[in-house]
Amino acid sequence: MSFGDPNNPYGQQPQGGQPAYGYPPQAPQGIPAQGGYAYPQQAYPGVPGYPGSPMPMPGGVKGARVILFILGILTALGGLALAVIGGVFASEFDSGSSSSGDAAAALGIGFVFGGIVLLGFALWPILTAAKLGKGRGGVRVSGIIYGSIQTFFALAGLIINLVTLSGMHESGGAPLLLSVVPGLISLGLGLWILIGLANSAAGEYFRRPQY
């Protein structure tokens, strides 16, 4: 039986499943050449056009995070200073036997207690800012609530200062400016937190899938 011309490379068929002319067998598309099973590649949603990549933090959320850290640190420093001043004040008048000395000592103790409360309150923005990178909707709500409180008290303090100074005829422009500028800064920081965390870009960021 003839299998064709042995000198013709196109007339001879490989036998026994052996590769012809030294070329290794190629695996079909979708099946790995080595042993094992082929699993389809899974792409997780991320940045548009780049599936599987992590979604970057929006600029508004970054700004709110920085402001929360700053406000938390400033609140902690204020609470620490208030507690130290209250402690010194209370120890200074604690030895007095007069009623005025007792009142001063009680006032110092009140300062210490207020400083401790401020130190505890400072943990709220600091922890919220620390968790914004990997947090979910609850962290976002916590930041929005803090920004709302910051905005409310800043606006209330600004109105009180304006009403008080407007009734003082001897007040000049400098005292009015000095009292208004801190209130405006505090109000702007609170609004920045609210806008940065309440917009649609922040909503998409906190609803992103996490793997």
Highest mean pLDDT: which range of 35-44, 131-140, 169-178: 131-140
CA distances 198 to 61, 137, 144, Å, are: 9, 11, 7
Domain coordinates in residue numbering, the chain: 59-205
- 158 versus 180: the higher-pLDDT residue is 158
The answer to whether the CB of 188 falls within 8 A of the CB of 181 is no
The answer to whether residue 41 scores a pLDDT higher than 80 is no
What pLDDT is stored for residue 44 in this prediction?
A: 43
CA distances 73 to 80, 88, 166, 177, Å, are: 11, 23, 33, 26
Residue range 90-110: average pLDDT? Answer: 69
**Residues in CB range of 96: below 8 A, 6 or more apart:** 102, 104, 105
Does the global pTM surpass 0.85? Answer: no
What pLDDT is stored for residue 145 in this prediction?
A: 95
**Residues in CB range of 55: below 8 A, 6 or more apart:** 46, 47, 204, 205, 208
The answer to whether residue 82 scores a pLDDT higher than 80 is yes
**Alpha-helix runs per DSSP H in the chain:** 59-93, 99-131, 137-166, 173-198, 200-206
Percent of the chain at pLDDT exceeding 70: 63
Q: What is the pLDDT of residues 101-143, one digit of tens each?
A: 667 777 778 888 888 998 999 999 999 999 988 877 889 999 9
